[in-house]
């Protein structure tokens, strides 16, 4: 058994763990990184990267079918599903070297490809290695949650981890779960030519602003997707190519393939958290606002910390803990400025409070300013007029923004910046956006906040009248 002492031990080589390891070693710390599966974690291998690659393939097929309005004849694309998956794996392979063992060893990180498990509050065992570290960061991420639906264990089903090895296109894909993962993959497969039925126990896209979610779901239904809400799966039967899902209310859905996408579970099992005295539950490891556990040597970041489950959030957490671990400075994580996006077409993005949340939290103080995509010249030129932006404002400062429409995931960054730095609406309105761009919707939304104050204010009109009367 090799005994190792180090400054920093990172358990998990997903986006958060890799960010901590790279940042710490380049600033002079001695770092050991443990990963018993794939470098890059869920994001690179099963999540963000492959899903966006498949979405891009579906979008290309959709574009070919819908060219007539631009004077280009509609064409029914010849979809090669296996080739689309080749595209997915090519994208993964292109990004993979950035997250590889070789790159991190080149930076000076000692990478041990074994599972790490606490054997006491100070020591982690990984294979034939016993490691003690001044600080430990747990970044083990999350995995697909598979619900205990009777019969599910007797039929073949897919998750976001196994979907990427499927080479034969589903004739009719049943998707249990109408959240971001389920909806994104449902639309991608629909556009690639599969029939798709989404089976959701409550409301599809139920965590998003309902007005904006309805715009996305209406588009999907118009494209031919069947979305069944209030359909809680009660029993699953069948075999490969012939699967039946029975809902609690008696509805029955039949398809050739089944994708289970009902959420994710934090990877807390078999880490020896009890031996380390680290508090946790089903949602993840308990941390304070500095991402530190009750074991003061140990931090937890990303999905395993039981907060927002997004790659960029894990990266943000990495920055928070590096400040504390390397420099001994106080560093606290915030959540109010963290954006997220669902990469459907149209996209849906959110930062801060939704309209409903803002009205509850800031009762009587909230103003909601809006701007429609149909009033944006670039959106008109490109036929992308479905969408709107809503900004929730309290005392002249944005506290939340919701966007649905083309490029919403890119546009939300302006409002994340504004909320992070407590900017005023006047500062966003003062931005000059190039014309014609979709990005102008942000400036126009900020301008819409001031329009009634300027154009409908009798005092303003009176002042302007006096100035014009006496101005030499």
Structure tokens at 215: 């715009």
Structure tokens at 139: 């970044």
pLDDT at 438 over 80: yes
Q: Which residues contact 437 (CB under 8 A, 6 or more apart)?
A: 378
DSSP 8-state secondary structure symbol assigned to residue 396: T
Give residue 454's pLDDT.
65
Give residue 451's pLDDT.
76
Cis peptide leading into 346, omega within 30 of 0? yes
For the chain, the maximum distance between any two Cα atoms, rounded to a whole number of angstroms, is 90
Interior/surface letters 151-175, b for 16+ CB within 10 angstroms, e for the rest: bbeebebbbbeebbeeeebbebbbb
Give the residue from 12, 6, 265, 7 showing the smallest Cα distance to 117.
12
Alpha helices, DSSP H only, in 232-373? 311-327, 355-361
- Going by pLDDT thresholds of 50, 70 and 90, the confidence category of residue 456 is confident
DSSP 8-state secondary structure symbol assigned to residue 292: B
**Which helix (H) or strand (E) element contains residue 214?**
helix 210-222
Task: Report the distance separating Cα 455 and Cα 322, nearest Å.
Answer: 49
Q: What is the Rg, in whole angstroms, of the alpha carbon atoms belonging to the chain?
A: 25
For residue range 123-176, list pLDDT tens digits in order: 999 999 999 999 999 999 999 999 999 999 999 999 999 999 999 999 999 999
Give residue 459's pLDDT.
80
Mean pLDDT, rounded, for 299-313: 95
Structure tokens at 283: 């949602």
DSSP 8-state secondary structure symbol assigned to residue 170: P
Sign of the CA dihedral with 318 first, then 322, 328, and 330 last: negative
- Going by pLDDT thresholds of 50, 70 and 90, the confidence category of residue 219 is very high
Task: Report the distance separating Cα 238 and Cα 252, nearest Å.
Answer: 12
Q: Do residues 297 and 131 touch, judged by C-beta distance below 8 A?
A: no
Q: Do residues 183 and 216 touch, judged by C-beta distance below 8 A?
A: yes
Structure tokens at 43: 């994001």
Average model confidence (pLDDT) for the chain?
96
For residue range 225-282, list pLDDT tens digits in order: 999 999 999 999 999 999 999 999 999 999 999 999 999 999 999 999 999 999 999 8
Q: Which residues contact 472 (CB under 8 A, 6 or more apart)?
A: none
- Which pairing describes strands 172-176 and 257-260: parallel, antiparallel, or unpaired? parallel
Q: State the distance between the two ends of the chain, measured CA to CA, in whole angstroms.
A: 90
Residue 428 CB neighbours (<10 A): 22
Mean pLDDT, rounded, for 186-212: 97
Give residue 403's pLDDT.
98
- Going by pLDDT thresholds of 50, 70 and 90, the confidence category of residue 187 is very high
- Going by pLDDT thresholds of 50, 70 and 90, the confidence category of residue 455 is low
Task: Report the distance separating Cα 454 and Cα 471, nearest Å.
Answer: 20
Residue 421 CB neighbours (<10 A): 9
Task: Report the distance separating Cα 244 and Cα 259, nearest Å.
Answer: 12
């Amino acid at each position: 058994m090799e005994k190792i002492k180090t400054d920093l031990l990172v358990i998990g080589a997903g986006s958060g763990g890799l960010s901590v390891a790279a940042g710490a070693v380049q600033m002079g710390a001695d770092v050991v990184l443990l990963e018993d599966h794939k470098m890059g974690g869920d994001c690179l291998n099963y999540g963000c990267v492959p899903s966006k690659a498949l979405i891009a393939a579906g979008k290309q097929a959709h574009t070919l079918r819908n060219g007539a309005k631009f004077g280009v004849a509609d064409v029914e694309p010849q979809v090669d599903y296996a080739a689309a998956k080749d595209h997915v794996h090519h994208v993964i392979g292109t990004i993979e070297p950035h997250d590889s063992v070789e790159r991190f060893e080149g930076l000076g990180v000692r990478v041990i490809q074994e599972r790490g498990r606490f054997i006491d509050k100070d020591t982690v065992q990984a294979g034939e290695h016993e490691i003690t570290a001044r600080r430990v960061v747990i970044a083990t991420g999350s995995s697909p949650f598979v619900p205990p639906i009777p019969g599910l264990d007797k039929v073949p089903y897919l998750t976001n981890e196994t979907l990427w090895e499927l080479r034969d296109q589903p004739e009719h894909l049943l998707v249990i779960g109408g959240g971001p993962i389920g909806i994104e993959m449902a639309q991608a497969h629909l556009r690639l030519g599969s029939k798709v039925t989404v089976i959701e126990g409550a409301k599809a896209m139920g965590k998003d602003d309902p007005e904006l979610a309805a715009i996305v779901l209406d588009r999907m239904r118009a494209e031919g997707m069947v979305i069944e809400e209030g359909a809680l799966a009660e029993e699953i039967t069948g075999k490969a190519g012939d699967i039946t899902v029975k809902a609690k209310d008696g509805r029955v859905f039949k398809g050739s393939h089944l994708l289970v996408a009902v959420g994710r579970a934090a990877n807390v099992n078999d880490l020896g958290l009890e031996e380390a005295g680290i508090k946790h539950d089903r949602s993840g490891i308990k941390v304070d606002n500095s991402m530190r556990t009750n074991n003061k040597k140990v931090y937890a970041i990303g999905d395993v910390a039981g907060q927002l489950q997004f790659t960029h959030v894990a990266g943000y957490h990495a920055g928070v803990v590096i400040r504390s671990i390397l420099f001994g400075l106080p560093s606290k994580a915030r959540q109010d400025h963290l954006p997220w996006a669902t990469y459907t077409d149209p996209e849906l993005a959110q930062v801060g409070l939704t309209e409903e949340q803002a009205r509850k939290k800031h009762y009587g103080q909230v103003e909601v300013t809006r701007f429609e995509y149909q009033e944006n010249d670039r959106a008109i030129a490109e036929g992308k007029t479905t969408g709107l932006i809503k900004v929730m404002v309290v005392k002249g400062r944005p506290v939340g923004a919701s966007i649905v429409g083309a490029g919403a995931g890119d546009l939300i960054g302006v409002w994340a910046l504004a909320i992070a730095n407590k900017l005023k609406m006047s500062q966003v309105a003062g931005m000059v956006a190039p014309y014609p761009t979709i990005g102008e919707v942000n400036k126009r939304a900020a301008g819409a906040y001031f329009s009634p104050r300027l154009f409908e204010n009798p005092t303003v009109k009176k002042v302007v009248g006096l100035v014009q009367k006496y101005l030499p």
